[in-house]
Amino acid sequence: MKDIGIFYSFRSVKTGQQVKKISKQLGADQIKLMDIDVATKADFLQFTNYILAVPTWFDGELPNYWDEFLPSIEKEDLKGKNIAIFGGGDQKGYPENFVDGIGLMASILEAKNATIVGFTSTEGYTFEQSRAQRGNQLVGLALDIENQAALIDERIKNWVESLKKEFK
Ligand SMILES: Cc1cc2nc3c(=O)[nH]c(=O)nc-3n(C[C@H](O)[C@H](O)[C@H](O)COP(=O)(O)O)c2cc1C
């Protein structure tokens, strides 16, 4: 397995805690932690394997920092890049927009020919609607601190094990 870039906002405390767990599970020597608040196009394009932290904000939208970064890679072809997405979401508070940010990001990157990896089962979550849902899967890992904090460690462990097989 080659390099893995983990992109997230260093200002986000909750997401930062999740990244720490994911990094530990992956093995520290293979990964680079990248701050999306200051990352440039060149910073982003250097990897083959990616983990993007995309919590859902507002009513089913991307966080501001992703909205601000994405135009810089608007014209890029991401063919050959393997991208896994995870993010916080609240299935009780936002059942009609549960982890929409994960789904929005997956669609944007697929339109640039990236390969999205790290799909998970919808089993164990209760919600009405999600842009991240495809059939009985989510296009990434949903972490619900508000309602299912006790399940987070196990979910991360299983997800990272599957990524180890999918990353190139
Ligand atoms: C104002 C606000 C809006 C939110 N909107 C959504 C939403 O639409 N869908 C969802 O699944 N979670 C939503 N959440 C829950 C967050 O995604 C969740 O708390 C996440 O862990 C936040 O991570 P962060 O603090 O690292 O950005 C919202 C939380 C807040 C405070």
The total of structural domains in the chain comes to 1
Confidence (pLDDT) at 75: 96
Nearest CA to ligand 1 atom 1: 58
> Can you tell me the distance from the alpha carbon of 38 to that of 149, in angstroms, rounded to the nearest whole number?
29
Residue at token pair 């619900």: 144
Confidence (pLDDT) at 129: 98
Question: What would you report as the CA-atom Rg of the chain, rounded to the nearest whole angstrom?
Answer: 15
Q: How far is CA 88 from CA 11, 25, 130, in A?
A: 15, 18, 13
Confidence (pLDDT) at 2: 74
Confidence (pLDDT) at 1: 62
Confidence (pLDDT) at 28: 67
Confidence (pLDDT) at 70: 98
CA of 29 to the centre of ligand 1 (A): 31
- CATH code, domain with 97: 3.40.50.360
**Minimum-distance ligand 1 atom for the alpha carbon of 146:** 19
> Can you tell me the distance from the alpha carbon of 84 to that of 119, in angstroms, rounded to the nearest whole number?
8
pLDDT in tens, the chain (168 residues): 678 999 999 999 999 999 999 999 998 678 999 999 999 999 999 999 999 999 999 999 999 999 999 999 999 999 999 999 999 999 999 999 999 999 999 999 999 999 999 999 999 999 999 999 999 999 999 999 999 999 999 999 999 999 999 999
Q: Would you call 65 helix, strand, or coil by DSSP? A: helix
Residue of 22, 37, 62, 90 to test ligand 1 pocket, by largest number of atoms within 8 Å of CB = 90
CA of 61 to the centre of ligand 1 (A): 9
| Domain extent at residue 77 | 4-166
User: Model-level pTM?
Assistant: 0.98
Confidence (pLDDT) at 138: 98
Q: How far is CA 105 from CA 1, 2, 97, 124, in A?
A: 24, 23, 14, 22
Ligand 1 environment, Cβ below 6 A: 12, 14-15, 55-60, 63, 88-90, 94, 97-100, 145-146
Region of residue 71 (left: phi > 0; alpha: psi -120 to 50; beta: else): alpha
